């Protein structure tokens, strides 16, 4: 389910996220006072973590191939 919305309070503010994803945790409750820059929710980053692991494996493979190529020269 994908959705966007607005929160309304005494002062109305637009909120958004830099990345799309599922919400893993909501860190505030209705009626809580929040400050500028405060984290109010966390997105599930498991897909991103998997991509980082895959990229690290690819870097290791490339380093190994580079070492082999340098040794052959």
- Report pLDDT digits (tens) over 7-55: 566 666 677 777 788 889 999 998 888 888 898 999 899 988 999 999 9
Q: Which residue has the tokens 């109010």?
A: 40
pTM exceeding the 0.75 threshold for the entire prediction: no
- Residue 69 DSSP code: H
Return phi, psi of residue 25, to 5°.
-155, 140
Rounded distance, CA 40 to CA 27, Å? 5
Rounded distance, CA 73 to CA 55, Å? 27
- What are the Cα distances from residue 4, in Å, to 1, 17, 32, 60? 10, 10, 20, 39
Q: From the centroid of its chain, how far is CA 64?
A: 30
């Amino acid at each position: 389910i994908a959705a966007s919305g607005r929160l309304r309070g005494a002062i109305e503010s637009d909120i958004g996220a830099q990345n799309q994803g599922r919400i893993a945790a909501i860190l505030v409750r209705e009626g809580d006072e929040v400050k500028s820059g405060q984290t109010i929710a966390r997105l599930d980053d498991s897909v991103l973590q998997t991509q980082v692991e895959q990229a690290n494996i690819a870097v290791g493979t490339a380093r190994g191939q580079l070492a082999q190529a340098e040794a052959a020269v």
